[in-house]
Structure 1
Amino acid sequence: MLEATDVRVEFGGRGGRRARAVDGVNLTVAPGEIVALVGESGCGKTTLARTLLGLERPTSGQVSYDGTPLSYTGRRLRAFRRQVQLVLQDPMGSLNPRQTVYEAVAEGPRIHGLPDEEKVVADALSRAGLRPPERFFLRYPHELSGGQRQRVVIAGALALSPKVLIADEPVASLDASVRGEILSLLLRLRDDLGLAALVVTHDLGLAWNIADRVAVMYLGRIVESGPTEDVLTNPQHPYTQALLSVLPESPERIVLTGEPPDPTRIPTGCRFHPRCQLFAATQDAEACRTTPLPTLTATADPQVACHLAPVPTTA
């Protein structure tokens, strides 16, 4: 449904250096599938999501929707955005405080000239769990709870009947009691409407509860991917192991040293080796310092890019 093929996104930096925010990513989201893109802040998750939405143009590589390369001309990009919609992290920040719920949800259908506006808005609010929808038409964001505001944001995306949702930390700003409701809503939308979703998150617990497949990103590149159960119960990459170690049920805490490297100065060899707990404990790991790892492919099978992982890397 949605595919990134060797996508690279670079930004200009100080001193003429280029920051490689996304550095050779292959990723697919199949119809009806929920994929979790996980990693710490600054790893390139949001830049990749923006590129998949057509908000950023890749420096090289290609984004495709339904087998067709994404066109950046106005009319075709507008048609694409009806099919792929964004759900933002902070509903209070993404909703206009001067707009009613009706106006917020109706904005997309008006831009795209959809008929029967009131019915479209009511149906979208109902699917997002705000019933009866008419009760919410004239309310303002400050009159709603955090969970209700996030449902309004989701309704705004659903109003255009998309095939794919890209959700950037969709429950990060919500109370724990509400998080489960929003995750259940996303699963129900997948089951009822056949929606696919890419969920961007740093929370592996969220990925476990909602995702069919997980892609772990570090410093602009996916370093491990596969079915959720395989990746989260038997992580092969030391970075994935470290991310999982912060969960309450983890028997051992792995503390990574230092901060993520500067994306204008990608380390040679394995980009994770300066912080890697396996590399630090290994006497003979010259390949980690000097030998680049191949980019992972877009397969659904488990794969890992690591010289020290117990399974082979995938070229």
Structure 2
Amino acid sequence: MLEATDLQVEFSGRGGRRARAVDGVNLSVGAGEIVALVGESGCGKTTLARTLLGLERPTAGRITYDGTPLNYSTRALRAFRRQVQLVLQDPMGSLNPRHTVYEAVAEGPRIHGLPDEEALVASALARAGLRPPERFFQRYPHELSGGQRQRVVIAGALALEPKVLIADEPVASLDASVRGEILALLLRLRDDLGLSALVVTHDLGLAWNIADRVAVMYLGRIVESGPAEDVLTNPRHPYTKALLSVLPESPARIVLTGEPPDPTRIPSGCRFHPRCQLVAAGNGTGACTTTRLDILPAGAAHQVACHLVPAVDNS
């Protein structure tokens, strides 16, 4: 449904240097598939998501939707955004406090001039789990719980009957007791409506519960990808192992030193080598610090970009 090919996004940095926020990414989201894009803050996840939505223009590479390259004319983007909708992490920031629930959900249909506005709003709210929908029409965001507000945001996306949702940290601002409900809702939308979704998160536990495939991003590139069960039960990249080590069931925590490098100064060789626990333990090779790794292709196989393990798991 939605695919990025050799995608690069650069921004102007300090001193005239260019920051490579996305530095060669291949990523696909299939029909009825949920893909989790995981990594630390600052690794390029949100920039990649915004570029997939057409909110940022790539410096190089391309985005295709349903096999057709994305056109950046105003009319084409308008049509594209009916099919690919964004769900943000902060429902209070996403919703206008002066607008009722009805007005918030009706905004998309009004912009696109869709008929039967009230029926679309009622259907979207019901699908998002706010029933009976008419009971919520005249409520304001401050009158709702955090979970209800996030359901309103999801309903606003569903009102346009999209094919793909891009959810940026959809449960990060919610209490633990409500997170499961929102994740269950996303799974139900996938099963009932055939929706595809890209879920951007730093939480591998969330990815474990919801995703069909996982892509792990570090400093602008995908460093490991594959079926969620394979990646999360048999992580092969040192960075993925470190991310997973913070989960409660992990036998030992791996503490990475330092912060992700400045994207205007990407290290030579493997971009992870300055923080790699294997290199720090003396188990690296000369290639780790000198030889660039190939960009991982989009695909279903379990793949990893690391000099110390095979690129594809054929087991």
**Shorter-chain TM-score tier:** over 0.9
**Deviation readout 1:95-150 (Å, 9 max, x if unpaired):** 00000000000000000000000000000000000000000000000000000000
Hey, what does 2:16 align to over in structure 1?
Answer: 16
Within 2, Cα distance between the matches of 1:74 and 1:16?
Answer: 30
Within 1, Cα distance between the matches of 2:129 and 2:15?
Answer: 51
153 and 222 in structure 1: CA distance in 2 versus 1, 3 angstrom threshold: same
**Deviation readout 1:178-236 (Å, 9 max, x if unpaired):** 00000000000000000000000000000000000000000000000000010000000
Residue type at the aligned position of 2:304? V
283 and 110 in structure 1: CA distance in 2 versus 1, 3 angstrom threshold: closer
- Assess if the C-alpha contact under 8 Å between 2:301 and 2:312 holds in 1: no
Hey, what does 1:267 align to over in structure 2?
Answer: 267
Within 2, Cα distance between the matches of 1:64 and 1:170?
Answer: 24
179 and 284 in structure 1: CA distance in 2 versus 1, 3 angstrom threshold: closer
Hey, what does 1:111 align to over in structure 2?
Answer: 111
Hey, what does 1:68 align to over in structure 2?
Answer: 68
Pairing 1:286–2:304 present: no
Within 2, Cα distance between the matches of 1:106 and 1:196?
Answer: 22
Residue type at the aligned position of 2:76? R
Residue 281 of structure 1: CA displacement?
1.5
Runs of 4+ residues deviating >4 angstroms? none
Hey, what does 2:130 align to over in structure 1?
Answer: 130
Hey, what does 2:85 align to over in structure 1?
Answer: 85
Hey, what does 1:211 align to over in structure 2?
Answer: 211
Unpaired segments of 5 or more residues in structure 1?
none
Residue 258 of structure 1: CA displacement?
0.4
Describe the SS at the equivalent of 1:51. helix
Pairing 1:41–2:48 present: no
- Assess if the C-alpha contact under 8 Å between 1:306 and 1:313 holds in 2: no
Describe the SS at the equivalent of 2:265. coil
Deviating more after overlay: 54-63 vs 277-286: 277-286
Residue type at the aligned position of 2:311? P
284 and 59 in structure 1: CA distance in 2 versus 1, 3 angstrom threshold: closer
Residue 284 of structure 1: CA displacement?
5.4
Within 2, Cα distance between the matches of 1:270 and 1:307?
Answer: 8
**Deviation readout 1:136-189 (Å, 9 max, x if unpaired):** 000000000000000000000000000000000000000011000000000000
**Deviation readout 1:272-298 (Å, 9 max, x if unpaired):** 000000111225511000000000000
Taking structure 1 as the reference length, the TM-score comes to 0.98
Size of the aligned set, in residue pairs, is: 313
Within 1, Cα distance between the matches of 2:232 and 2:106?
Answer: 40
Pairing 1:7–2:7 present: yes
**Deviation readout 1:28-74 (Å, 9 max, x if unpaired):** 00000000000000000000000000000000000000000000001
Residue 313 of structure 1: CA displacement?
5.4
% of aligned pairs identical?
A: 85
Hey, what does 1:303 align to over in structure 2?
Answer: 303
- Assess if the C-alpha contact under 8 Å between 2:9 and 2:59 holds in 1: yes
Within 2, Cα distance between the matches of 1:300 and 1:85?
Answer: 24
Hey, what does 1:177 align to over in structure 2?
Answer: 177
Within 1, Cα distance between the matches of 2:238 and 2:14?
Answer: 31
- Assess if the C-alpha contact under 8 Å between 1:205 and 1:247 holds in 2: yes
Residue type at the aligned position of 1:38? V
Residue type at the aligned position of 1:132? P
Hey, what does 1:188 align to over in structure 2?
Answer: 188
Within 1, Cα distance between the matches of 2:253 and 2:303?
Answer: 24
